[in-house]
Structure 1
Amino acid sequence: MKKLVVLCLASMVMANASAEIAEPSPVKICSYLADIGLKGRKWVEDYGDGSSGCASDYKDIGSGAPLANNLAYYVSGAGKYVMEVKLVLNYNQPRKPDAGTTALVAASQKLAQRALGGTLPTSVIELIKKGEHGSENVGRGMVEVVREDWPNGKGYEVHVMMR
């Protein structure tokens, strides 16, 4: 029985070790999307709750009042270690989703290549376009798409997370 437990734990550790962000430097990872206007600010090693990270400013996609749809890039981890990179598109103008969705797909494709060393599969692109939940292994890690509808009913957001 002990051998079975040890074998199970070892396989879980090996599985987790194989899924990782390609670049070990948080400073470099925060700059992954600088060329498309989503440069993360300085890496904060401890937000006071044990978590670390950086985030870009919001990038407006299109126009609209009171807010345009906007895209942001987030990197999170612990200490000097990155655990996840994420794109979030806020659909502040849910009746005008096309430009925002196109920008989210393009940024996700670039991020998957840089962070995971893989190409975003058509199945994940379709999840992003439809705003549906799902996940897929890509390169050295996993991509998950999540949609969150806002309680006020005035919009929603789509997260594309890579671990």
Structure 2
Amino acid sequence: MASNPFTTCLWFDGAAEAAADYYLSVFKDGKRGRVGLYPEGSPGVAGEVMVVEFEINGQRFVGLNGGPQFPFTEAVSFQIHCADDAEADYYYEALTGDGGQESACGWVKDKFGLSWQVIPAGAIELISDPDPGRAARATAAMMKMKKLDVAEMRRAADAG
């Protein structure tokens, strides 16, 4: 195994720097790194931002301004495991605001189209309860939700 941590490369269509700034405003434990410009003779416009490095919550990212060929899809998402409902509410609102979109089961897309799963404390435990009936009822309740409501999932799990 490699001794260095992974760096996630996110492909943008000209918005890598704006995206890095946005993520650094949403996630308080972050920092911006190097910004690299397209050189003369490269596929990009010389002098414009090619890459921007940033880190949030200990995860390293590179935003690449690669063009419109490869938009984000739900096939890749980032999970945010929240300590409590207030933290889940914060991330849910921050990521759906300003052009983001709600999806299902706690999934959201931010304004750049990147998918996130906002997971409040207790949700995973409910849908993976060792009692198959409780897990099924919690999961059925979750499947009807956009933003996860752990109290409602717990009520559904206990209803059996």
The TM-score normalised by the length of structure 1 is: 0.33
Which has the higher Rg, Structure 1 or Structure 2? 2
More relative contact order in 1 or in 2 (CA 8 Å, sep 6+)? 1
Give the TM-score normalised by structure 2. 0.34
